[in-house]
Amino acid sequence: MALNSLIRTSDLSPVDVARILYHAEEFRQQPDRNGTLLQGRTVVQYFAKPSTRTRLSLHEAVARLGGVPVAVNDSDLQLDRGETVEDTARVVSRYAAAFTARTFSDELIVNFARSATVPVVNALTDTDHPLQSLADLMTIGQRFGSPKGCRVAYLGDANNVCTSLLQACALTGAHITVAAPVGYGPDPATVAHAAALADPTEGSVNVTTDPEEACRDADVVYTDVWVSMGDPAESQQARLEAFAPYQVTERLMGLAAGDAIFMHCLPAHRGQEVAAAVMDGPASLVFDQAENRLWTSMAVLAMLLRGRLEGR
């Protein structure tokens, strides 16, 4: 069945993921292919949060596909004046070819997608970040040929990046271990969902509180910030203390496989979740990873829109 929107990574099938990664690599090698797909059309891009990679990669993706990106916020859309998400979705659908949203509430984007008649793409919510996870898979595949069979260690907060990475690894047959302090790991339902996705692909999902266990013989060591946008100030010091043993250091990287890579979705805080020597070292692929946000965003938009627009 054709995919209408992308709200979470697990909306994709293993075949969808493989198709997106294949076309993302095509876009990387031939950036101007499908340069007229969105000709004469706009994509509305809603940002309720600050953004660097998401905003720039999506803006560029739409432009390279021949369209016009229109960036808006709450006041631009009048959501802060009481217009409902559902009414906004119906109006946007009359004008634009697609809608992307970087926001806090999962409910907002789910309700928008239910009312919209154009594709809706989650560009980050509190619990999911599917566009990031696709760029992560592309980066792993560039180094190891395929994510399948790769051993991925994620250290730190079980946030939206972690949730989507769990699903992405499960869908591609990778083996992921999340290491987090007690009280900061993924919830059991998230783990069970990812484990169910991993069963047919021969992947696996594990959770531990031991960062050394997670890193030992890993092909990929991944981390993210310890304090996210929206975390209350009073909890930040407690987080820094709890996560201190999970900093990705040269010693922890030394436990990984000899050709292991380091990944981070950015922005990074050197000296907190990652040592500067690792972040800027030879194993770090963080800027390739950031670049891949462009190619995978192009592939996602092309997949969602090609059938709708080619017959116009």
pLDDT tens digit sequence for 187-209: 999 999 999 999 999 999 999 99
Per-residue confidence band for 235, with pLDDT thresholds at 50, 70 and 90: confident
Q: Is 146 in the same domain as 160?
A: yes
Q: What is the mean pLDDT of the chain?
A: 95
* 106 burial type by CB count under 10 A (0-12 exposed, 13-18 middle, 19+ buried): middle
The pLDDT of residue 15 is above 70 = yes
The pLDDT of residue 133 is above 60 = yes
Question: Mean pLDDT over residues 233-257, rounded?
Answer: 93
Question: Higher confidence at residue 75 or residue 42?
Answer: 42
pLDDT computed for residue 228 by the predictor: 75
pLDDT tens, position by position, 45-104:
999 999 999 999 999 999 999 999 999 998 899 888 889 999 999 999 999 999 999 999
Q: Which three-class secondary structure string do you get for 231-268?
A: CCHHHHHHHHHHHHHHCECHHHHHHCCCCCEEEECCCC
**Does residue 61 lie in a domain region?**
yes
| Residue of 16, 128, 157, 224 marked active site | 224
87 is catalytic: no
Q: Is 145 in the same domain as 275?
A: yes
The pLDDT of residue 2 is above 90 = no
| Residue of 132, 247, 272, 289 marked active site | 132
264 is catalytic: no
Distance CA 239, CA 151 (A): 26
**Does residue 2 lie in a domain region?**
no
The pLDDT of residue 22 is above 70 = yes
pLDDT computed for residue 233 by the predictor: 67
The residue range of the domain holding 266 is 132-290
The pLDDT of residue 312 is above 60 = no
The pLDDT of residue 140 is above 90 = yes
Question: Mean pLDDT over residues 10-35, rounded?
Answer: 97
Alpha helices in 118-266 (DSSP H): 130-144, 160-172, 188-198, 211-215, 233-243, 250-255
Per-residue confidence band for 234, with pLDDT thresholds at 50, 70 and 90: low
| Residue of 16, 45, 265, 289 marked active site | 265
Distance CA 136, CA 200 (A): 21
**Sequence-ordered list of residues with C-beta below 8 angstroms from that of 188, at least 6 positions apart, any chain:** none
Joined together, the tokens standing for residue 24 give 């993302």
**Sequence-ordered list of residues with C-beta below 8 angstroms from that of 170, at least 6 positions apart, any chain:** 176, 194, 195, 196, 197, 198, 201, 203, 205
pLDDT computed for residue 75 by the predictor: 84
265 is catalytic: yes
Question: Mean pLDDT over residues 119-134, rounded?
Answer: 98
The CATH number assigned to the domain holding 56 equals 3.40.50.1370
Q: Is 256 in the same domain as 297?
A: no
Q: Is 196 in the same domain as 141?
A: yes
Q: Is 93 in the same domain as 157?
A: no
**Does residue 26 lie in a domain region?**
yes
Q: Is 281 in the same domain as 157?
A: yes
**Does residue 263 lie in a domain region?**
yes
What are the backbone angles phi and psi of residue 75, rounded to the nearest 5°?
-70, -30
Q: Is 252 in the same domain as 149?
A: yes
Angle between helices 53-64 and 130-144 (to 10 degrees): 80
User: How far is it between the farthest Cα atoms of the chain?
Assistant: 57
Cβ atoms of 93 and 116 within 8 Å: the answer is: yes
Q: Is 42 in the same domain as 162?
A: no
Per-residue confidence band for 134, with pLDDT thresholds at 50, 70 and 90: very high
Distance CA 221, CA 161 (A): 14
Question: Mean pLDDT over residues 149-175, rounded?
Answer: 98
Closest to 135 (Cα-Cα) out of 247, 54, 56: 54
293 is catalytic: yes
Q: Is 99 in the same domain as 182?
A: no
Question: Mean pLDDT over residues 201-223, rounded?
Answer: 98
Q: Is 251 in the same domain as 234?
A: yes
**Does residue 231 lie in a domain region?**
yes
Per-residue confidence band for 172, with pLDDT thresholds at 50, 70 and 90: very high
> What whole-number percentage of the chain has pLDDT above 90?
91
**Does residue 1 lie in a domain region?**
no
State how many domains the chain has.
Answer: 2
pLDDT computed for residue 74 by the predictor: 85
**Does residue 18 lie in a domain region?**
yes
Closest to 137 (Cα-Cα) out of 300, 20, 13, 252: 20
**Does residue 4 lie in a domain region?**
no
Of 101-105, 226-230, 249-253, 297-301, the least confident: 226-230
Q: Is 151 in the same domain as 202?
A: yes
Q: Which residues pair with 43 in a beta bridge?
A: 69, 98
| Residue of 129, 175, 193, 264 marked active site | 129
Q: Is 166 in the same domain as 144?
A: yes
